[in-house]
Amino acid sequence: MNKLIVIGLSTIALSSPSSAQHGDIARGQRDFRMCAPCHSLEADRNMTGPSLAGLWDRKSGSLQSFERYSDALKSSGIIWDDRSLDAWLSDPDSMVPDNEMPFNGIKDPQRRADLLAFLREATKPGAAPQMSAQGQMGDMGGMMGGMMGGGRVPKLKSLESNMQVKAITYCHDTYRVTTADGKTRAFWERNLRLKTDSGKDGPHTGAPAIVPAGMMGDRADVIFAAPEEISKMIEARC
């Protein structure tokens, strides 16, 4: 395990009493609502994030059916258990710098203990999910709809390099978008919207743009000058 990860994990775990507290499963189930838009409890049903089924004793970044793990998480060597999950839920950025999970952590030790108590039961192999992500969308729909609506789109004919799309590949349930700054970002297929704008503020022909869509950092719009450009740009490649 990376030395920095070990130090971060030990520091957070020692400073947080959550793992020693008794957790309330019912309260944890309610708190899981904030996780449900991104994580399923059904085996290999991946969304923005990986399925949590069978989470305990699993090595971080190792679920074969999920393809969008950050390099930082895959190389961390963490094994998920009560202690490591408590540290992760407390402050994922401190535990694994450069991970890509859009989550600031839960600072209340009791809430973490409650959530862990629920997840410990709900993620057991063969356990019937007590709460599905789809079941939560009715409660979360209003909030998520507002988050995904986005703000005013900038003029797309003159953009910074990180908004100029150069290539898009598609594999299984994942789009990978490469921009002019040389970076490639992975998106779950439901989190990337393909749009067109043929107006004066739209992109130049053959020069699609990518703009953020939402507050969580895991959603975006790719905007083309015309519909026929979409199929030409996207390459099916794993």
Instruction: Read off the pLDDT of residues 115-125 as tens digits, 9 standing for 90 and up.
Output: 999 999 999 98
pLDDT of residue 20: 52
Domain boundaries defined on the chain: 3-145, 161-236
pTM assigned to the model: 0.68
What is the tens place of the pLDDT at every residue in 136-170?
A: 433 433 333 333 344 455 789 988 999 999 999 99
pLDDT one-digit tens code per residue, 19-41: 457 899 999 999 999 999 899 99
Low-confidence ranges of the chain (pLDDT < 50): 1, 3-19, 132-151
The count of other CB atoms within 10 Å of the CB of residue 157 is 13
Cα distances (Å, whole numbers) of residue 186 to 26, 48, 148, 175, 217: 34, 10, 17, 6, 11
The structural architecture, per CATH, of the domain 3-145 is Orthogonal Bundle (1.10)
pLDDT at 129: 53
